[in-house]
Amino acid sequence: MGVLIMKKILLIFLFPISLFSYEKTVCIDCHLKLEDKALREAVYEWEKSIHAKYDISCHHCHGGNPKDEATAMSPEFGFIGIPKYEEIPEFCGKCHIGVKENYLKSAHSKNLPDGPNCVTCHTYHNQREAGIYLINPDLCGTCHDYERAEKIRSALLSTEEYIYNLTKRNDNLLYHGFNIEDISKKVFSAKNSFRSLTHVIDVSYILAQTESIKRELDNISKSIQKNEDIVKKRKIVGAFVIILFLISACVFGELYKELKRSLERS
């Protein structure tokens, strides 16, 4: 199982787009045949997205039957189509519940339909993965001064680095034969809770909530540390066994030489 996971990670690293084995649907097949360039481009943009990486396809957001062209756009199968700009937070919030709740508390939400929403930062179909990199002068500065956004970025940065390091440490345990799935889920959950805070656009609130998330991350770090300690013990035992083997080889070598000399003298 561990070998399969490692192979999958390697394939994703080498071929970050083309080997995402997403399901082919009638939505994709149809859009690729349309004359309208924008409707074709939607598929190409989606193929590069974080959604495609996790096999989240057209019907997961827009509804409809992805296996039958006749009912692909049927309301009976929950087809929604293109939401209005002000409806996008609810549209995306069907899955991103925590993010939506925090966004609705923000100044961004209160300024709709003129204010920014999900697609302003994450785009429509080439959905960008959440991360601290999205808070930058080019993006935030298109609507207002970057000063407030920079404060939010600073408030988030240390925790973002903490999450990154925990993920790296936990992934490293995979190469030592540990099942990292449970801890990975905990890190993923904490990361989602943390990143949803960004959408409140309130520095004091972010700082307050981040403290409880950091305590959760500290507990995760302790669990990882226990496994890392096991790895260290294995290395020590392994080194001891190798040293013992080398000493034994030297001793037996000397004994063999002495025995050989004794036989020659006799």
Chain-centre distance for alpha carbon 91: 22
Single pTM value for the model = 0.68
- Given this model, what pLDDT does residue 259 score? 79
- Given this model, what pLDDT does residue 202 score? 87
- Given this model, what pLDDT does residue 170 score? 95
Nearest Cα to Cα of residue 30 among 62, 54, 53, 55: 62
Q: What mean pLDDT, rounded, does the chain reach?
A: 87
Residue 4 pLDDT exceeds 60: no
Euclidean distance between CA atoms 15 and 7, whole angstroms: 12
Euclidean distance between CA atoms 146 and 136, whole angstroms: 8
- Given this model, what pLDDT does residue 18 score? 40
Q: How confident is the model at residue 14 (pLDDT cuts 50, 70, 90)?
A: very low
Average pLDDT over residues 171-193: 92
3-state secondary structure of 167: helix
Q: How confident is the model at residue 52 (pLDDT cuts 50, 70, 90)?
A: very high
Euclidean distance between CA atoms 193 and 210, whole angstroms: 9
φ, ψ of residue 21 to 5 degrees: the values are: -85, 65
Decide if 40 contacts 31 (C-beta within 8 A). yes
Euclidean distance between CA atoms 154 and 255, whole angstroms: 67
- Given this model, what pLDDT does residue 197 score? 87
- Given this model, what pLDDT does residue 10 score? 43
DSSP 33-44: T-S-HHHHHHHH
Q: Where are the alpha helices (DSSP H) in the chain?
A: 2-14, 26-31, 37-47, 50-53, 58-62, 88-93, 97-103, 107-110, 118-122, 137-140, 147-174, 181-196, 203-265
pLDDT digits (tens, 9 = 90+) for 87-144: 999 999 999 998 999 999 998 999 888 889 999 999 999 998 888 889 999 999 888 8
Average pLDDT over residues 22-37: 89
pLDDT digits (tens, 9 = 90+) for 83-96: 999 999 999 999 99
Residue 19 pLDDT exceeds 80: no
Q: Which two tokens stand for residue 26?
A: 């009638």
- Given this model, what pLDDT does residue 236 score? 92
